[in-house]
Amino acid sequence: MVKFKENGKKILLAHGSGGRLTHELIKDFVKRFQNPILAKLDDSAVLKVEGRLAFTTDSYVVDPIYFPGGDIGKLAVNGTINDLSMVGARPLYLSASAIIEEGFPIGDLERIVDSMERAARLAKVEIVAGDTKVVEKGGVDKIFINTSGIGVVESGVDISSGNGRVGDRIILSGTIGDHGIAILSARERFDFQTEVKSDSQPLNGIVLEILKVSKKIHVLRDPTRGGLATALNEIAQQSGVGIEIEEEKIPVKEGVRGVCEMLGFDPLYIANEGKLVAFVPEKDSMKVLNAMRKNRCGKNAQIIGSVVKGHKGKVVVRTGVGGERILDMLSGEQLPRIC
Amino acid sequence: MVKFKENGKKILLAHGSGGRLTHELIKDFVKRFQNPILAKLDDSAVLKVEGRLAFTTDSYVVDPIYFPGGDIGKLAVNGTINDLSMVGARPLYLSASAIIEEGFPIGDLERIVDSMERAARLAKVEIVAGDTKVVEKGGVDKIFINTSGIGVVESGVDISSGNGRVGDRIILSGTIGDHGIAILSARERFDFQTEVKSDSQPLNGIVLEILKVSKKIHVLRDPTRGGLATALNEIAQQSGVGIEIEEEKIPVKEGVRGVCEMLGFDPLYIANEGKLVAFVPEKDSMKVLNAMRKNRCGKNAQIIGSVVKGHKGKVVVRTGVGGERILDMLSGEQLPRIC
């Protein structure tokens, strides 16, 4: 690995001036990402892309910047890969823009850039455009990162939160709440140990696998901020359909359940960064479930419910003891700066 | 214009939770941008784009957020349009991501979003993807905005900072230093009046016009942070050529010159947000100059110098009195948070 020239030093305002230090810092980034497009240092990357294009953006302000299972850099790369994947796109190129606080250690910047490079390489995407800004001490909390991304959508694929249809089976790719609880445990002082790690991971691989077995996937969504409950509510509203899920089908790790019970949180509202829900016509649902389970990211996949005729725009949960309740969107704020 | 639902109130942490308030805020944005792609509220926009693609990103942290001639919203839209234009691309789609401080007035957010909508409409680009994050009070200074953008590059166009060739004429589209001095005047208390306004404007129109008269434009660059001096140094290094410019050919407004003289700044290092330099083979240079001057953004265009055989990687300025000096990159920091 190429070391940053000024590892050991701190970020100065001059690193954001556009002058010599900016230039040197950017050269360090370029060396790290080893990318001929980025190396041209033009105002835009020029790319060859064929077909329908997917385009997305997300800013990451997670606090703390390091947490069990990841850091802000890994989160920023995987998050944008996942947003592209959720319209069925194959992610190709990312941009990365960092807003850095004056005095931030350059060694930490290097660690985060390394983490981004590794995440991009694992997911087979390239970081082709970048930007850095420096803000005076106190004007920003350590570092924020924006990633935007583009990918291509194969013909025949039409996935949208507005495409849920009555009869669709709802498949969840794995356990919920891991990311939110990992962040919480890194932030608060607990009297006990939790081994919960963030599930931050790229979902482009699993999406590719399930699209191979069914082109009829209607909806894909990664339940990030607001958790599974909010994601399902958004889909119910955008598709104008009712949703029913069975609580006991939803996989939740023991560690996550324990922390939630102790603090009065519902895992259904806790953020995830490496899970998805798929809405699939019943006919294709077992094929998709099996394809998910074969993928490393979908070993614990479950059919958790279906799209129903009644209660349009609403989500109903059936509980183990035969009761049911309306599952609302998250209201208020549980955990600020989760991503 | 559609009013924001909570105009008059302030941003809460819950606006960033991903839950109900986030959802309502995002619906306000979507109404404002009146854009069917954005209205689908999917994790990514899906677009039809043909040809070679340009892709860029920039985060804006300008302080203050309102200044003579513009605001952070207009700057963010025009800045990314210009980065796309500088590889000869026709800008098509932008993303917008805002990081907002808890307590920020929703009325101000509305004003900034309005400004972004207007800037996008004037430049005929669409904002098709977005994101909002909220950070606790003190974790971010008011509001930062990231815009990323994509555009298409016509075949035959090959513009890069690495393409400067000996003999190229260097054409500057207008006066320099306006943006930097406007920001400074909005920030500091002066004992005198300055009427200098930011030159923030979209350059896609003028680039389209000059590409009509010459496909042989080698380099385009908008001299933002670090000013004209830094932009020319970057081109000299990336192209591996020497550059010579004549100081007296460079147009500088009286107001800019006055402030610079008083404060000891050199206009060559002051940021611009609506100017470009073009490197063009001598044969096509008059055609390009005339096309520039016909455009509203290029009325004061001038040939300011040329690419020479000697002093590779360096920029030399000839002064009015027959002297010459090496023009270096900006070192250190003059004006933090200029964009």
Which of A103, A118, A153 terminates a domain? The answer is A153
Question: What are the distances in angstroms from CA A263 to CA A266, A267, B331?
Answer: 9, 11, 52
Co-location of A48 and A98 in the same domain: yes
Question: What is the predicted pLDDT for the residue at A34?
Answer: 81
Residue A191 has a pLDDT of 61
Nearest chain A residue (CA) to B79: A43
Domain span holding position A272: 169-326
Which pLDDT value is given to residue A221? Answer: 97
Minimal C-alpha gap between B138 and chain A (Å): 7
Q: Taken in order A59, A64, A70, A73, is the CA torsion positive or negative?
A: positive
CATH code of residue A42: 3.30.1330.10
- Whether residue A160 is contained in a domain is answered as no
Shortest Cα distance from B333 to chain A (angstroms)? 4
Question: Is residue B1, in this structure, part of any structural domain at all?
Answer: no
B59 to A146: CB separation less than 8 angstroms, yes or no: yes
Q: Which of the listed residues A95, A129, A153 is the one where a domain comes to its end?
A: A153
| Domain annotation covers residue B290 | yes
Q: How many CB pairs under 8 A join A and B?
A: 291
A163 φ, ψ (degrees, to nearest 5): -100, 10
Low-confidence ranges of chain A (pLDDT < 70): 1-2, 188-193
Q: What DSSP string describes A48-102?
A: E--SEEEEEEEEE--SSSEETTEEHHHHHHHHHHHHHHTTTEEEEEEEEEEEEET
Mutate which of A21, A56, A87, A326 to disrupt the B interface (most B C-beta within 10 Å)? A56
Give the CATH number of the domain where residue A271 resides: 3.90.650.10
* 8 Å CB contact of A46 and B14: no
Clarify whether residues B119 and B175 are in a common domain: no
State which residue of chain B sits closest to A62, comparing Cα positions.
B135
The whole-number pLDDT of residue B192 equals: 62
| Residue of B52, B148, B207, B339 for testing the chain A interface, max A β-carbons within 10 Å | B148
**Distance in Å, alpha carbon of A312 to nearest chain B alpha carbon:** 18
Cα separation, A76 vs B145, in Å, equals 16
B89/B139 same-domain check? yes
pLDDT lower than 70: segments of chain B: 1-2, 188-193
pLDDT score, position A3: 72
Total number of domains in chain B: 2
Using a CB-CB distance cutoff of 8 angstroms, which residues of chain B are in contact with residue A328? 20
B176 falls within a domain: yes
Residue A207 φ then ψ, to 5°: -65, -40
CA proximity to A147, closest of A112, A191, A194: A112
State the Cα torsion B155-B161-B165-B167 to the nearest 10°. 100
Hey, of A72, A87, A148, A204, which one would you mutate to test binding to chain B, going by the most B CBs within 10 A of its CB? A148
Which pLDDT belongs to residue B3?
A: 72
For residue B259, give how far its alpha carbon lies from the nearest alpha carbon of chain A (Å).
20
DSSP per-residue codes, A299-312: TT-EEEEEEESSST
Q: Do B59 and A150 touch (CB under 8 A)?
A: no
Q: What residues of A are in contact with residue B230 (Cβ under 8 Å)?
A: 18-19, 23
| Any domain includes B281 | yes
Question: Is residue B104 helix, strand or coil?
Answer: coil
pLDDT for A335 equals: 81
Q: Is A7 domain-assigned?
A: no
